[in-house]
Structure 1
Amino acid sequence: MSALLTLKDVAIELGGQRIVDELNFALEPGDIGCLMGPSGCGKTTLLRAIAGFSPVTRGTIELHGEVVSANGKSLPTEQRQVGMMFQDFALFPHLNVADNIRFGIEHLSAEAQQQRITELLQRIDLNGYQKRYPHELSGGQQQRIALARALAPKPKLMLLDEPFSSLDAELRELLAQDVRQLLKEEGITALLVTHDQQEAFAMADKAGVMYAGQLLQWNTPYSLYHEPEHQLVADFIGRGVLIPGKIRDNQLHCALGVIDHEVLCDQGDHDVTFLVRPDDVIISDRDNADLRAIVVGRGFRGSHYLYTLELPDTSQVLAVGASHQPLSEGTQVGINVDFDHLVVFDSNVCELPD
């Protein structure tokens, strides 16, 4: 199966500054991709280039194997069959719901327009809202209408620029799941830009982490979390800490003791940094634990607490505990470690790839 969207060695400069640098990835038809990263990393600039709003300095952007952007070439946005959903929804305040959705399909017959509007309103569970205006809708309802409007022309590719950022956290995750289901039902390939990992995990088949204009890793969300290829990816995805250690005789010697793991075999003796996630640390009875630690911080997360634990050498790790049995700060606890996925980096120097 050929990719629907392919980026090859894409570089983008704005005002003489390199914003995106030698970026490569592809999306298969029907897949939902996500670009994550801190503000200013270049992800929105890249999305605009895919839409045709910004030129590329080098490399190519292809849709269905056709080059739509290259240095000196840019297919107009309206010819790319790309839908765009913006951060602020961008609904027309003077148009009702039906006319907002109708905006991109006015070339169809009146009957076809009405059929598509009715179909989409049913799919987003807002049937009967045709005559309402944007100011009469909640934020979540506006988001659904904006999505329906973008989907109405049946674009080949849907681009979503932080579409849930103005909504509260619980609604964001719920809508992300709803949007994924709708995109899958419509069979539309999509690319989402966000800094929110939960949105990415709820929506994406493939995801990537950008930093300073570079794509550090492109893989499934599961692989980004459990198998990060770069310290910046490990630091950005999920909660965790990076701890120094030494590999000696195929064992990891560190503040958590001596760890045996298959990934340590044949690595040779050298200094490393390794990743410790909250799910790697198990709080247990002090008398039946390998190590002891002191609770120095805690955060309530509803079903659980996220604890910060200080080890004897003052290193800190995170751990999860049930919320119905809270531990007070200053409490000494026992801990065991269980690394299903041990992620080790060669040094504690965090460099960008060449």
Structure 2
Amino acid sequence: MSAFLKLDKVSIELAGHRIVDDLSIALEPGDIGCLMGPSGCGKTTVLRAIAGFNPVSGGAISLQGSVVSSASLSLPTEQRQVGMMFQDFSLFPHLNVADNIRFGIEHLSADAQEQRIKELLQRIGLNGYQKRYPHELSGGQQQRIALARALAPKPQLMLLDEPFSSLDAELRELLAQDVRQLLKEEGITALLVTHDQQEAFAMADKAGVMYAGQLLQWNTPYELYHEPEHQLVADFIGRGVLLQGRIREHQLHCALGVIDHEILCDQDDHDVTFLVRPDDVLITDKRDAELTAIVAGRGFRGSHYLYTLELPDTSQVLAVGPSHQPLQNGAQVGIEYDFDHLVVFDSDVCELPD
């Protein structure tokens, strides 16, 4: 199966500055992708280039095997059959819900317009809201209408730019799941841009992390979390800490003790940095535990506490404990570790790929 959306070594320059450098990704038909990264990393610039708003200075962007952007070619935005959903909703305040959705399908017959509006309102759970105006809707409802308006013309590709950033955290995750289901039902390929990894995990089949205009890794969200290929990916995805250690005789010697793992079998002796997630560390009530730590901080998360534990060498790790048995700051606890996925980096220097 050939890629529906393909970016091949794309570079983008704006006002004489290179914003995106040699970026390559691909999405299969019906896949939902996500670009994550801190503000200013270039992810929105990529989205705008796919839409046709920003030119590319190198490489090529293809849709269904046809190049739509390169250094010498730029297909007009209106010819790309791309839908866009923005963080500010961009609903027309003077139009009711039905007319907002109708905006992109006025070329259809009146009956076809009404059928499509009714179909989309039913799918987003707002059937009967045709006559309401944007100011009469909640933020989540406005975002659903914005999605319906973008989907109404049945675009080949949907681009979503931080679409849930103005909503509270619980509503963001719920809406992300609903949007994923709707995109899948419509069979639309989509690319989401966000700095919120929970949105990415809720929506994406494939995801990537960008930093300073470069793509550090492109894979499934599961692989990004469990097998990050770069320290910056490990630091950005999920909660965790990076500790120092040294591999000697195929074992990792560190503040947690001596760790045996199959990935160390072919490692030579050298200094390393390794990733410790909260789910790698288990708090135990064993009084004779070989490894102990001091509770240096805690954060209430409802069903659990997220603890910061200080090890004997003063380095710190994170661990999770049930909320009905809270540990006090300063308490000494026993800990154990279990690395299903041991992630080791060769150096403590975070260098970007060439």
- The two structures have a TM-score, normalised by structure 1, of 0.99
Q: Distance in 1 between matches of 2:288 and 2:229?
A: 34
Structure 1 gaps, min length 5 = none
Equivalent residue number for residue 201 of structure 1: 201
**Alignment-derived partner of residue 115 in structure 1:** 115
Partner of 2:289: 289
Q: What is residue 223 of structure 1 aligned with on the other side? A: 223
Name the residue aligned to 1:70.
70
Deviation at 1:73, TM superposition (A): 1.2
Length-normalised TM-score, structure 2: 0.99
- What CA distance in whole angstroms lies between the structure 2 residues aligned with 1:324 and 1:51? 50
In the TM superposition, what is the alpha-carbon distance from 1:286 to its structure 2 partner? 3.6
CA deviation profile, 1:226-250 (whole Å, cap 9, x unmatched): 0000000000000000000000000
Count of aligned positions: 354
CA–CA distance in structure 2, aligned partners of residues 133 and 172 of structure 1 = 22
Secondary structure at 1:74 match in 2: coil
Runs of 4+ in 1 over 6 A off after TM superposition: none
User: Matches of 1:278 and 1:288 in 2, distance apart?
Assistant: 22
Return the alpha-carbon distance in structure 2 between the equivalents of residues 52 and 323 of structure 1.
50
Query: 1:175: which partner in 2?
Result: 175
Partner of 2:32: 32
What value does the CA root-mean-square deviation take over the aligned residues?
0.5
- Contact kept? 1:8, 1:23, Cα under 8 Å: yes
Residue aligning to 2:3: 3
Partner residue in 2 for 1:340: 340
**Shift in Å, 1:288:** 4.7
Supply the AA of the counterpart residue of 1:5: L
Cα-to-partner distance string for 1:83-108 (whole Å, 9 max, x where unaligned): 00011010000100000000000000
Q: Aligned to 2:299, what secondary structure does the other structure show?
A: strand
Q: Kindly indicate whether residue 229 of structure 2 is the aligned counterpart of residue 240 of structure 1.
A: no
The residue aligned with 2:210 is 210
1:154-193 maps to which residues of 2 (within 5 A)?
154-193=154-193
Structure 1 residues 288 and 118, CA gap change in structure 2 (3 angstroms): farther
Q: In the alignment, which residue of structure 2 is the partner of 1:139?
A: 139
**Identity, % of aligned positions:** 86
- For residues 289 and 6 of structure 1, the distance between their equivalents in structure 2, rounded to whole angstroms, comes to 53
Give the Cα–Cα distance (whole angstroms) in 2 for the partners of residues 61 and 290 of structure 1: 56
Q: Partners of 2:207 and 2:329 in 1: how far apart?
A: 37
**In 2, distance between residues paired with 1:276 and 1:310?**
13
Letter in 2 for 1:97: V
Secondary structure in 2 matching 1:53: coil
Cα separation, 2, equivalents of 1:17 and 1:290: 54
Deviates more, 1:36-45 or 1:71-80: 71-80
Match of 2:325 in 1: 325
